[in-house]
Amino acid sequence: MRGLGGDVCDPTSDNPEERCQFDTKSYERTKNIDDGLTTVCPVCRLFGCTGWKRRFELQASATLSEPFWLATKDQYGKFNHCWFSKIYKTTDNHLAFGELTLFFRWMHGYESQHKNVKALLSLMSHAAAIGPKPQYGFGVFSFQNSFSIQESLSIIQHEMAGSGPKKSPSGVYPSLHGYWLLQCTVPASDVNPEFSSVTGFGNVQTFNKYQSRLLPVSFDIRYKFPGSQQKGLRQSYRLNHGKMPARQIFGTSEGDKLASSVFVSHLYKTNETEADYQLRVWGFTDSGLTDEIENSLKTIFPGLVVNKNLNGPELLSDSEVSA
């Protein structure tokens, strides 16, 4: 909702003014729930805040839980392996894989919210990913019976239309106004020679098991392509624009840590019988960056084809028309 310009709080803010809280005093005076909720934003009304319980229970289960794994073109002991060891202090973790089932149970009177959550999940499946560390390639999923992007945006915009409390958190947040996505097909003839000698990180058995349909090499593509001084999205951006702008866009773990605004999936196949791979790259930056990213991708994979090119401002103007 914040990404669509809605007035929502920042539950992670250190400033209590920027977080929602149920107004217990007002509620005690009138015993009317609405009086306690006047300062609570639409998101906290659903997900809860101090004094106000979440309106649903969520159960998640995955058909497979596999030991953590990644891969890189770099050799053992080289740069990317050092990075992985730094980011993932322990590789003793498991990842949900295969089919993921989310089961929502709603509190009485909130059943209609199921549609909103379905719209959110639909958006994530079409336009981004689910779960932590999407910038490292995790979380791309397809959602059965999903709404289209336009339907999802209309549903969420409709939900925002009610006048909520004015919240203006001081942080800088990703917004659909700066959003873009490139959904690409990468021919096997570009992938196979490049990644014929990848090395696994974490559980090598899982890596071998899924190698024919999932090459978890997001890091090589997003950062710096091993064996090249020019290739890799961050590396080519850095060569064109300099070190500090590259940190602004691709994040840094030095000094004041900064999250990446560009996200790159692993190379994956939606169906094991396909020869070619899929790659999803998206971001929250000036829209002018899309062409540059596409060109950088093509220096790694010359035969890459962009199948779907989404652009936040266009999505927003289309959904306003259809809303």
Residue ranges binding Zn ion (CB under 5 A): 9, 20, 41, 44
Nearer to Zn ion among residue 17 and residue 92 (C-beta): 17
Question: Which single residue is written with the structure tokens 């997003």?
Answer: 222
Nearer to Zn ion among residue 50 and residue 270 (C-beta): 50
Distance in angstroms (rounded) separating the CA atoms of residues 224 and 233 = 7
Nearer to Zn ion among residue 20 and residue 246 (C-beta): 20
Helix (H, G, I), strand (E, B) or coil at 314: helix
Distance in angstroms (rounded) separating the CA atoms of residues 295 and 288 = 12
Shortest distance in whole angstroms from residue 132 CB to Zn ion: 21
Helix (H) / strand (E) element for 215: namely strand 214-215
Nearer to Zn ion among residue 41 and residue 140 (C-beta): 41
For residues 160 and 45, the answer to whether their CB atoms sit within 8 Å is no
Q: What's the CA angle centered on 10, arms 6 and 12, to 5 degrees?
A: 160
Nearer to Zn ion among residue 9 and residue 156 (C-beta): 9
For residues 156 and 120, the answer to whether their CB atoms sit within 8 Å is yes
Distance in angstroms (rounded) separating the CA atoms of residues 304 and 279 = 9
Q: Which residues contact 150 (CB under 8 A, 6 or more apart)?
A: 315, 318, 319, 322
